[in-house]
Structure 1
């Protein structure tokens, strides 16, 4: 859903954030949670989302307006008959991405990048921990298919960039396969799957 990139060339798939004010939207953890819930649910009202994130409807509505102001979510069509609440959906079903190189040339950009990246890391960790806590409630076929891996190859910076492009292409292929199947009505046995990836240098 969300990719943080260095300066590699990536085929167009998710909209790219290049405006610092837009990136600042995701410095708040609740906005990240709301975005993720909308990504999973497709469409929802503030009341529905408030139940999902266990927050007050008024607070959720405020943060939804912030997301909408920068074009991350839009009103969902087809709900004209329900005037009580707005229905929201993501403006892009593919999520979004941003590149460090668009923001790291100024101190404020570096600070916002760090804050957003750490918020994303925290919410990803929470999601995986939630799965571990609920693992016993999932059917055996899912717990056997789920995986957690770590590899530590010795690479150059250029090779790491090439690997990121390869993995990105692979994930886009699987995402399209799942989306095409759902669009064709093949929804039996399908769940949202979280695949989290990081690639970074370390010395110990």
Structure 2
């Protein structure tokens, strides 16, 4: 029997120099895909950086809040010692903890009498500027940019609603060192919280 020659039919798409199933890309398409991949990685890095920064701020804020909360559990002698140490630390750093005298435009009782009936809940009278002074009896924070105080003078209490939008660039520094028992002066405008509590919104606190 004579040896027969067998010829194999070429597989469809099988060409010399182009492996089966491989996509042939133009130079422009390769450049486009590389650019898209680079942009994707850069976006992921930016998002990761934002998440890390947000987590760090939250951690620092929680740490400060925890430190202040811990101070409230101290006995009066320890609490006073901490406050004296804070004042001495400011002096050592070249800061005057009692920078100047504060002039008030009205007393706390006068503030309450004047504005209690002039504001609706959530209303702010930003065109009126007043200054009052008294002792802090309570401090509570709602995040890093909104801090509430109870200010008392002459037997009358009013709320300080310190909002970072009005407090200036040194907002965090000023309110970071204020504690229960401090005597402060507040310059700002009257208004009421959404719940209807009469408050002063400080532009300056000393």
- TM-score normalized by the length of structure 1: 0.23
**Relative contact order, higher structure (CA 8 A, sep 6+):** 1
Higher strand share: 2
- TM-score normalized by the length of structure 2: 0.22
Larger Rg over CA atoms: 2
